[in-house]
Structure 1
Amino acid sequence: MKKLLCFTLSAVLAAALAVPAFADTSVPPTSAPSTNVTQSSPDQKAETTVQFTITPAYTVTIPGTVELTKKTDAETNKITYEEDFNITAADVRLNEGKTLRISLVSNYKLASGATTLAYTVTAKQGTADAKPVDSKDPVCADFETKTGEQKVTLHFAANNPPYAGDYSDTVMFNLAVYPQN
């Protein structure tokens, strides 16, 4: 009786573990057609495509406000208002052969009431020399695919204004992906 019970339980356990598995032969609407191989197929091979997609991504940080500070040249006593600030791009991942370009749009005039005061902008990125940024060449940064942080330092400078007042200008930054130069 014990042998019969042991044999029956072993058979039930073996049947429970031997569950047939069937491959999904349904074809999703956007995938390539599947290949069915059966025992009677003349060719016992099949192919599948392995793929994934990574969408371009980046994080750009631009200060919301930059306060120009008074500087006095020790030799000439010339007064200017200047400040540096950084634009950073972190974890830039673009399609191959692309670059993230940041351009500055402005009339390059600080205003206080009816008084306007011209100012200049230069951009320094990496080991390259600082270059002027103006309406003829508004590009201030090119960032490429790279993990970690990349930066460009912008330098704003204005001469000493003739009148007291609160001088300001709103600067627009445009971000666009272009082919690399």
Structure 2
Amino acid sequence: MKKSIIVAAVLIVAAMFTCSAFAADAAKIGIVSFEKIIQESSAGKVMQKDLKAKLNELQEKLQAEEKRVKEMSAALEREALVLSPEKKLERQRELRDNADDLKKMKADYTQEMKILQNKRMNQIQKDVFDIANKLGKSQGYLLIIEKKVAGVIYAADKVDLTDAIMKEYNSIYAQKK
């Protein structure tokens, strides 16, 4: 008799916990693709256009400097037989210095592009995170994660908030301009 009362009590307690677990609100989880926002949003397209223009400008400067170094090298080869040993050494040193300056210029430009890209990406990311926070709070999301960073392999389309965030971001970006 005691066993049947204990078993019944355990079943009643288990039933109470099970019912409360099923009655809880469904967890709303959202996914955002930052990569898609960079590629398709107004701000992302402007950033890509600006970066491409800056890259082209820097590449033109590098090409002009490379041409100048090649011309110096060709001139040295042509005049090598008629130059005095001191003058030849001086020109070789100038050529080495210019070649080293060219390498440094390439490294500086690469670094400048990385800094510019990171600065612009961080600004867009900050704006997108602010919008995602507002959207998450207003629509009762428990969690919103970035698709690539979180390593999401599959997510249903209904939890993908990228388009909604991009729409909001485009309207905010248009107002800023």
Q: Specify the TM-score bucket, using the shorter chain as the normaliser.
A: under 0.3
> In terms of Rg, which structure is larger?
1
Name which structure has the greater RCO, CA cutoff 8 Å, separation 6+. 2
Query: TM-score scaled to structure 1, two decimals?
Result: 0.24
Query: TM-score scaled to structure 2, two decimals?
Result: 0.24
* Higher normalized helix content (fraction of residues): 2
